[in-house]
Amino acid sequence: MDNNFINKVLSRILEIKSLDKKTIFSISTTAKQEENAYLTPVRICKDFILAGCIIFDQKNLTSLLEKIDSEVDIILADSEKGIPLHVGGSNYKLDKEVSQLGIETISNICFQHIKKSQIFEFKPNDLTVNAMWSFLSQRLNFLSEKRISILGAGNIGSKLALKLVECGAEIHLYRRDAYKGNKIVNGLNLIKPENVVVNIQFHSDPMQASLMSDVLIGTASGYPVIDENIINNVKKSCLVVDLGKNNLTRNAIKIATQNSMEIYRADVTPAIEAYIYEALKMEDILENSYGKKDLGFCNIVGGGFFGNFGDIVVDRVNNSQNVIGVCQGNGLLKDKLTNKDQNNINKFKRRFKIKH
């Protein structure tokens, strides 16, 4: 990673820090390795501002981490994908197994190096799938009985297929490797709930998979799987989505726009914004709601923590506001409280001035 890119990152971070919000910087990579790292768009949300980058080399990652640690409040680290180790480019120790593989996840490396900024792992592919599902659900109003073609049955395409078929959509899946494609579809059909009557269908021909579809989604890994022949043969009302990046040929885009077809590139903003709120809320639960606390005369438990017989269940182990019940010791709450239980509850409420 050259100094020019690091300077771009630092300049971007300086820019987002000027907006007086919690600053978050995401670091990820892609399955399709590219030569140069690049910045991702800035997303300004109600309570925070998000920037980020896509990188492709462990050496570059460590150089970057040295510069941004403490410069942002939170670092979102990709936990899905490994990043190649270039021989001679790493200055830190790898455990034996990972060293033999020559690869580590970005989140693993971040947790080794980041000392001041807070770190949350995230799964970019899952966020992409969630954003796509939400987009289709609201754009189509409902998914049941919609015919949806997914061209590309990798991590994103397969997860999206399962999520959509569970909603009753008719899914047609294509993958270049027919053997793996069939295996994937068989597995997905075994995983989906038994009460979902529709099955995912596999096609070894992208044209066959696309015909008569209400939605055509490209989820291939960076190659144009949707060409002009497919666009010329799908319904003019078909909604076309480029989810895998550059999944449409230029001629396909030209013909689709001439025919007034709708083409979209997926926007993950809703999913990544929702995930950050989820991560912050989970942090609060783990720090303040979850766990067990000994009060001397009894224990309190909260946040879903399983207590022992007689433990008082509260909304939060720190700064409790409500008593939920008393543990029976088998995962249930007592139906009837003993005098001791009631005395412990009253004592607990008095100590922490709880009215409920």
pLDDT at residue 21 in the model: 93
Residues 133 and 111 in one domain: no
β-pair type (215-218, 201-203): unpaired
14 found inside a domain = yes
Using the 3D structure, point to which of 67, 92, 122 is the last residue of a domain: 122
> Which residue reads 């009631």 in tokens?
342
Residues in a beta bridge with 49: 23, 44
pLDDT at residue 101 in the model: 47
pLDDT tens digits for 89-127? Answer: 443 344 444 444 457 899 999 999 999 999 999 999 999
Q: Read off the pLDDT of each residue in 312-332 and give the average, rounded to a whole number.
A: 95
Q: Read off the pLDDT of each residue in 204-229 and give the average, rounded to a whole number.
A: 95
131: left (phi over 0), alpha (psi -120 to 50) or beta: alpha
> pLDDT-derived band of residue 33, with 50, 70 and 90 as boundaries?
confident
For the chain, the distance separating the N- and C-terminal CA atoms, rounded to the nearest angstrom, is 58
- CA neighbor of 174 nearest in space, from 227, 124, 137, 135: 227
Residues 44 and 170 in one domain: no
β-pair type (215-218, 239-242): parallel
274 found inside a domain = no
Q: What is the 3-state secondary structure (H, E, C) of the chain?
A: CCHHHHHHHHHHHHHHHCCCCEEEEEEECCCCCCCCCEEEEEEECCCEEEEEEECCCHHHHHHHHHHHCCCCCEEEEECCCEEECCCCCCCCCCCHHHHHHCEEEHHHHHHHHCCCCEEEEECHHHHHHHHHHHHHHHHHCCCCCCEEEEECCCHHHHHHHHHHHCCCCEEEEECCCHHHHHHHHHHHHHHCCCCCCCCCEEECCHHHHHCCCCEEEECCCCCCCECHHHHHHCCCCCEEEECCCCCECHHHHHHHHHCCCCEEECCCHHHHHHHHHHHHHHHHHHHHHCEEEECCCCEEEECCCCCCCCCEEECCCCCCCCEEEEECCCCCECCCCCHHHHHHHHHHHHHHCCCC
Kindly tell me if the per-residue pLDDT of 282 is higher than 80.
Answer: yes
Sign of CA dihedral 214, 220, 222, 225: negative
Q: Read off the pLDDT of each residue in 170-194 and give the average, rounded to a whole number.
A: 97
Question: In the numeric block, which tokens belong to residue 181?
Answer: 């494609």
Q: Read off the pLDDT of each residue in 247-258 and give the average, rounded to a whole number.
A: 96
Residues 258 and 305 in one domain: no
Split into its structural domains, the chain has a count of 3
Question: In the numeric block, which tokens belong to residue 247?
Answer: 């999944």
Kindly tell me if the per-residue pLDDT of 203 is higher than 70.
Answer: yes
36 found inside a domain = yes
90 found inside a domain = yes
275 found inside a domain = no
- CA neighbor of 115 nearest in space, from 66, 158, 182, 52: 66
Percent of the chain past pLDDT 90, that is, above it, reads 83
Q: Mean pLDDT lowest for which of 17-21, 88-92, 250-254? A: 88-92
CATH number of residue 182's parent domain: 3.40.50.720
Residue type (1 letter), 255:
I
278 found inside a domain = no
Residues 171 and 235 in one domain: yes
More confident residue, 168 or 100: 168
Residues 132 and 262 in one domain: yes
- CA neighbor of 127 nearest in space, from 174, 195, 80: 80
pLDDT at residue 90 in the model: 40
- CA neighbor of 309 nearest in space, from 293, 292, 332: 332
Using the 3D structure, point to which of 122, 148, 171 is the last residue of a domain: 122
Residues in a beta bridge with 52: 26, 40
Residues 151 and 259 in one domain: yes
Residues 102 and 186 in one domain: no
162 found inside a domain = yes
279 found inside a domain = no
Using the 3D structure, point to which of 91, 122, 153 is the last residue of a domain: 122
Kindly tell me if the per-residue pLDDT of 281 is higher than 90.
Answer: yes
331: left (phi over 0), alpha (psi -120 to 50) or beta: left
Q: What is the pTM of this model?
A: 0.88
pLDDT at residue 34 in the model: 77
Percent of the chain past pLDDT 70, that is, above it, reads 94
Residues 230 and 169 in one domain: yes
Residue 300 contacts residue 288 (beta carbons within 8 Å): no
Residues 178 and 249 in one domain: yes
Residues 235 and 113 in one domain: no
Highest mean pLDDT among 34-48, 80-94, 282-296: 282-296
Residues 76 and 104 in one domain: yes
Residue 270 contacts residue 246 (beta carbons within 8 Å): no
Residues 132 and 265 in one domain: yes
Kindly tell me if the per-residue pLDDT of 159 is higher than 70.
Answer: yes
Q: Mean pLDDT lowest for which of 28-37, 154-163, 194-203, 225-234? A: 28-37
Residues 83, 103: Cα–Cα separation, whole Å: 6
> pLDDT-derived band of residue 234, with 50, 70 and 90 as boundaries?
very high
Q: Which domain holds residue 304?
A: 290-352
Q: Read off the pLDDT of each residue in 49-60 and give the average, rounded to a whole number.
A: 91
β-pair type (82-84, 103-105): antiparallel
